[in-house]
Chain A
């Protein structure tokens, strides 16, 4: 059974850092395009970042230079390192498997709250 489980969210002060994890089972992370998608409270979905199966990465302009996506193939896990966090980064962060760049499996999400 395909499953993705996010962890690592929490309350963090503006300017702080946080690392999210996404543990996958039932498929191989490195064979798929894996993305992070976020949703601010009461708002719509926003694509954040992707690591393609080949290993290259891409980012939304809103997080470029502050967030870094990576994967650990030995752990079949995806990560999102978030630095210089801002209030506008407050959201539920979802890990999603990209099938031809649309998303067929999503995790349950992890909430990141940036506030002093």
Chain B
């Protein structure tokens, strides 16, 4: 099974900061990676798929990059709505696997 490791687990940042979250796969998953945002008490929301494709309606300050085993999610200028948890997910093979999550907190 493929394991997904996210870092950091918690990140403190201010409005306007550039934020980067890393996700590593235990073996190559090509570009079969998605990113989700989850606010407290809410369902996850798709942000990025195929490593770098922005889901319709998602602000352009979100971007994804990477391939193989290393991936990043970048928020170019953090906004108040962006304080939430973020998860990566590999969909190269079953069982599907999520990273452990990154909580973005207000500094």
- Residues of A participating in the B interface, judged by any CB pair closer than 8 Å: 35, 44-47, 50, 58, 60-61, 94, 99-104, 106-109
Contact = CB atoms under 8 A, between A and B. Distances in A.
Contacts, number: 52
Given A102-B46, A102-B49, A104-B46, A45 B91 contact: no
A58 B95 contact: yes
Contact of B44 (A35, A58, A101, A103): A103
Nearest to B92: A101
Task: Give the size category of B's interface with A.
Answer: 20 to 34
B87 interface: yes
Given A94-B43, A100-B91, 5 more contacts: A45-B98, A58-B94, A60-B95, A106-B43, A109-B43
Contacts of B42: 108
